[in-house]
């Protein structure tokens, strides 16, 4: 049974009615993830015959030209084999009127009602000139079916009734003819018009189904993008495939916490819209930095930002990637100001080590991390200095050959006791 993301159905057995925690994939192109692989949808991906698939590849103008030619041939044949002789012999005008109806087929998609009415008027002129009688459904077939398929049901029924009921009344009341012959001709006309209208209804139904199918694909793709915005792609694939608890242990990752210094205190004097605008602009820039370096944004809490390297897909250079991210974040913040004009400053803390990661909750769920490494990285940020990137000794050991550091010395860290920490200054030249 497919689960739901809000009111949007998503294939897969897991609950998707969640709230996204990130923005990095929200603006990605319409795609769907299938077991971790990103695939594009064919906009005409219907379960149809190869003939229909071939028809969709043919330009509409070519199809209309073919239909116009078919109508022209049908009208010419109908005139030549007509069993209802008229008082006026067939001449160029008779064929010209038929070809005019055929030519109107070329613009039926743009003006379906106008084409139907004009075709009916031209055919009526043909009858008024008393040329040999032809079945009206023959020249009007394409225009009538097209108008019906476009949803103009009343106009289609009106034209069909005009050419069925009108001649019947004229031939029984104005110029009486044998009732049997009149009924025979009227039934034939009505049957042909009925067949044409049924064809139009079939086309209309197929178009409606195709539109619904495309809307369903669009909604499914939207829900897939929302899911990938909440979770890493590999975790999203697992969530759709199982109802089991998703939890993984990672022996070696690097966790970063960043906090905007004094932003909470200053935001009390700023309009809510301005607070959100500043944080959204800054955190969106952080999202791009994380995406460029292949890091996984975990969440934001108020004006704090959390990102990790080395999961859900392990990588050996996770400490380097996070260090580069920290330097880029500090540079990004240095050029920004809060709405009151105060320059922004950031505190960043980093630690490296084991964590447990998993999906928690049944409503507004998230992909989160637990463990001493997470707590220590958070302490590095909270016990840090504005404008500085504080790292633990084990992170320092990973980066010491490629970066410049300043030893801060032993500091007392809440819940950890005395710790030797370092400030990350820059990459080595």
Sorting pLDDT into bands at 50, 70 and 90, what band is 3? Answer: very low
Q: What angle do CA 367, 372, 377 make, to 5 degrees?
A: 80
- β-pair partners for 367: 359
Quote the CA–CA distance of 30 and 218 in Å, as a whole number: 8
Give the number of other CB atoms < 10 A from CB of residue 351: 30
Least confident range from 148-162, 171-185, 370-384: namely 171-185
Sorting pLDDT into bands at 50, 70 and 90, what band is 288? Answer: very high
Sorting pLDDT into bands at 50, 70 and 90, what band is 252? Answer: very high
> pLDDT: is 225 or 128 the higher one?
128
Quote the CA–CA distance of 201 and 210 in Å, as a whole number: 14
Measured in whole angstroms, how far is the alpha carbon of residue 293 from the centre of its chain? 26
Quote the CA–CA distance of 245 and 233 in Å, as a whole number: 17
Say what the pLDDT of residue 376 is.
94
- The answer, yes or no, to whether residue 211 has pLDDT greater than 80, is yes
Say what the pLDDT of residue 56 is.
57
Say what the pLDDT of residue 406 is.
93
Sorting pLDDT into bands at 50, 70 and 90, what band is 339? Answer: confident
Backbone φ and ψ of 418, nearest 5°? -75, 130
Model confidence pLDDT, tens digit, residues 253-262: 999 999 998 8
Report whether the peptide linkage leading into residue 290 is cis, meaning its omega lies within 30 degrees of zero: no
Three-state DSSP state, 361 = coil
- The answer, yes or no, to whether residue 326 has pLDDT greater than 90, is yes
CA distances from 101 to 6, 116, 295, 296 (A): 51, 9, 65, 64
Give the number of other CB atoms < 10 A from CB of residue 325: 25
Backbone φ and ψ of 269, nearest 5°? -105, 10
Quote the CA–CA distance of 63 and 109 in Å, as a whole number: 11
In sequence order, which ranges of 268-382 are alpha helices (DSSP H)? 272-292, 318-334, 372-382
Say what the pLDDT of residue 13 is.
35
> pLDDT: is 16 or 421 the higher one?
421
Say what the pLDDT of residue 270 is.
79
- The answer, yes or no, to whether residue 35 has pLDDT greater than 50, is no
Q: Nearest to residue 320, comparing CAs of 408, 368, 251, 256?
A: 256
- 310 near 250, Cβ under 8 Å? yes
Between helices 60-80 and 92-104, what is the axis angle to 10°? 150
Q: Which helix (H) or strand (E) holds 236?
A: helix 233-241
Tokens of 94: 């008779």
Say what the pLDDT of residue 381 is.
93
Q: Where are the domains of the chain?
A: 1-243, 245-427
Say what the pLDDT of residue 294 is.
92
Quote the CA–CA distance of 350 and 380 in Å, as a whole number: 6
- 72 near 99, Cβ under 8 Å? yes
- 76 near 98, Cβ under 8 Å? yes
Give the number of other CB atoms < 10 A from CB of residue 61: 10
Tokens of 95: 């064929």
Q: Which helix (H) or strand (E) holds 78?
A: helix 60-80
Least confident range from 163-172, 300-309, 385-394: namely 163-172
Say what the pLDDT of residue 167 is.
82
- 311 near 357, Cβ under 8 Å? yes
Say what the pLDDT of residue 379 is.
93
Sorting pLDDT into bands at 50, 70 and 90, what band is 53? Answer: low
- 385 near 357, Cβ under 8 Å? no
CA distances from 145 to 84, 119, 134, 149, 203 (A): 25, 13, 18, 6, 8
**Which of 178-187, 336-345, 386-395 is predicted most confidently?**
386-395
Quote the CA–CA distance of 6 and 357 in Å, as a whole number: 25
CA quadruple 207, 212, 216, 221: dihedral, nearest 10: 50
CA distances from 118 to 114, 121, 200, 207 (A): 6, 5, 18, 25
Say what the pLDDT of residue 97 is.
92
Quote the CA–CA distance of 306 and 45 in Å, as a whole number: 40
Say what the pLDDT of residue 136 is.
87
- The answer, yes or no, to whether residue 407 has pLDDT greater than 60, is yes
Measured in whole angstroms, how far is the alpha carbon of residue 426 from the centre of its chain? 42
Q: Considering the chain, what percentage of its residues have pLDDT values greater than 70?
A: 85
- 82 near 132, Cβ under 8 Å? yes
- Output DSSP code: residue 68: H
Annotation: CATH topology of 245-427: Alpha-Beta Plaits (3.30.70)
Average pLDDT over every residue of 379-397: 93
Say what the pLDDT of residue 39 is.
35
Q: What angle do CA 79, 80, 82 make, to 5 degrees?
A: 65
Model confidence pLDDT, tens digit, residues 85-143: 777 888 899 899 999 999 998 998 899 999 999 999 999 999 888 888 888 888 888 89
Three-state DSSP state, 363 = coil
- The answer, yes or no, to whether residue 240 has pLDDT greater than 80, is no
Least confident range from 79-88, 199-208, 420-429: namely 79-88
Sorting pLDDT into bands at 50, 70 and 90, what band is 393? Answer: very high
Question: What average pLDDT is seen over the chain?
Answer: 81
- The answer, yes or no, to whether residue 364 has pLDDT greater than 60, is yes
């Amino acid at each position: 049974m497919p689960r739901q993301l809000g009111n949007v159905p998503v294939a897969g057995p897991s609950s998707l009615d969640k709230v996204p925690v990130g923005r990095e994939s929200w603006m990605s192109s319409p795609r769907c993830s299938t077991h971790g692989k990103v695939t594009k949808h064919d906009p005409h991906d219907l379960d149809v015959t190869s003939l229909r698939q071939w028809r969709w590849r043919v330009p509409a103008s070519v199809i209309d030209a073919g239909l116009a030619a078919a109508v022209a041939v049908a009208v010419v044949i109908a005139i030549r084999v007509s069993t209802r002789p008229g008082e006026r012999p067939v001449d160029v005008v008779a064929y010209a009127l038929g070809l005019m109806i055929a030519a109107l087929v070329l613009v039926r998609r743009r003006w379906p009602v106008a084409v139907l009415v004009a075709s009916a008027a031209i055919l009526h002129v043909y009858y008024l000139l008393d040329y040999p009688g032809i079945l009206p459904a023959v020249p009007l077939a394409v225009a009538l079916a097209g108008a019906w398929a476009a949803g103009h049901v009343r106009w289609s029924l009106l034209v069909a009734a005009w050419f069925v009921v009108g001649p019947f009344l004229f031939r029984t009341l104005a110029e009486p003819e044998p009732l049997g012959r009149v009924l025979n001709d009227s039934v034939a006309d009505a049957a042909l018009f009925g067949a044409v209208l049924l064809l139009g209804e079939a086309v209309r139904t197929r178009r409606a189904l195709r539109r619904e199918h495309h809307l369903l694909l669009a909604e499914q793709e939207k829900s897939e993008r929302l899911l990938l915005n909440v979770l890493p792609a590999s975790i999203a694939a697992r969530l759709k495939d199982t109802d089991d608890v998703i939890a993984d242990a990672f022996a070696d990752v690097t966790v970063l916490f960043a906090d905007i210094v004094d932003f909470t205190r200053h935001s009390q004097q700023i309009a809510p819209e301005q607070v959100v605008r500043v944080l959204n602009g800054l955190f969106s820039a952080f999202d791009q930095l994380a995406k460029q370096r292949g890091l996984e944004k975990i969440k934001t809490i108020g004006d704090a930002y959390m990102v990790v390297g080395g999961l859900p897909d392990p990588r050996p250079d996770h400490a380097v990637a996070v260090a580069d991210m920290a330097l880029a974040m500090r540079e990004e913040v240095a050029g920004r100001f809060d709405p009151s004009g105060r320059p922004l400053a950031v505190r960043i803390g980093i630690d490296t080590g084991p964590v447990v990661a998993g999906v928690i909750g049944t409503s507004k769920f998230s992909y989160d991390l637990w463990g001493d490494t997470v707590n220590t990285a958070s302490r590095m940020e909270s016990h840090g200095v504005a404008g500085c990137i504080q790292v633990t000794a084990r992170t320092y050991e990973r980066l010491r050959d490629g970066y410049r550091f300043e030893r801060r010395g032993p500091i007392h860290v809440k819940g950890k006791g005395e710790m030797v920490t370092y400030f990350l200054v820059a990459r080595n030249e």
